[in-house]
Chains A and B, each alone.
Chain A
Amino acid sequence: MATLTTPLTEDSVRSLVAGEKVTITGVIYTGRDAAHKKLVEALDRGERLPVDLRDQIIYYVGPCPPKPGWAIGSAGPTTSYRMDPYAPRLIEIGLRGMIGKGLRSPAVVEAMKRCGAVYLVALGGAGALLAQRIKKAEVIAYPELGAEAVYRLEVVDFPVIVGIDTAGRDAYAQGTAKYARAGG
């Protein structure tokens, strides 16, 4: 199984193939609806982002608050398509990976192919299990957004599957086609 360490390189990302299992070790950043809106608005105003996203991974997650003794509460992926209106902008400024669940728009896939970014999928609804792979969490931007703030996470062996690769191959479409029955 391939291991990805952040920051990523374009070469390592371009060598990933849809359907492949991968683990991630290193720093990743969180961001979901409200944070994406703010990041893209900041870009529109020509401002510097509160975090340098070049060669980094954004995890689409809004975690639960941590119980005492835990780095973070339950922390599984949220549905990615809601970030589709914003993702191409971030990919164009160098974002290398996204972790979420579910389908993406053609515009996102196009940007991924052009710029060399990968879409990784984590197990939706397995927030308790995934939280155990997150060793440290701190809010680094937009604290007023609560669970939607941007967190810096330190992860070890965080399990994902390559959902869509830089050639546009899609693990969901491939898996579904393999098991589809006539009439289904």
Chain B
Amino acid sequence: MPLLEITGLTQRFGGLQALSNFSCCLEERELAGLIGPNGAGKTTVFNIVSGFYKPTEGSIVFNGKRINGLKPHQVTAMGMARTFQNIRLWNTMTVLDNIRLARYAWLNYGFLSAVLRTGRYRRAEKAIETKAREVLEIMELTEYAEEFPKNLPYGLQRRVEMARALAGNPRLLLLDEPAAGLNSADVEGLIRHIRWIYDEFKISIWMIEHQMKVVMSLCRRLAVIDFGCTIAEGTPEEIRRDPDVIRAYLGDGAL
């Protein structure tokens, strides 16, 4: 049984067809990529899968359960986490608090416990703190725990966002252009971190990425979409030689 199975996904925004009949499968423990030119519909796929958009048509099955129509927080609680193309951290909270909040879906205490500071509250907060610090340690962010994300360089912010996604113990991690805006040294670090996460957490990763260097060195399987349609699928080597892909990226004259 595949971990994520998308069939016949179609998304219309008014007159614009952002996705047409998109299908894709992701096996357990896969590290796959989704590429395509600007405006191809990649982020739209992620937005649908994570529950932000309700697809016009199609079905998404995650971990054996149909998830279309679920709210994003429900999808997250089922073991999916993601990062955003444009970083979305909580800027007036410390890095540590940002990570802690990723455990929100699993909070087992409520308002009264929080206010009365019951034993249950203290145990839960302690567990959250331990988990958050552990994730920070793994992502080499411990020294920034008390910083505010907005004061950190871009590369670190991306890493914090990844750490936050991981703190929810996801089975599937969706990364939307994790290398966007990074310099080449940061990109090296990113590749190292992603590979490390993949090996250490034993999770599946699906990433959108423009930088060929990143996809080529990480992904074993790629899907390419253009104008909302899948135009190619295969290993990075196959994709690199695919005439349809070259045409999509470079225009008809390239062949």
- State yes or no: do A and B come from one complex: no
User: Which residues on B are within 8 Å of A, measured CB to CB?
Assistant: none
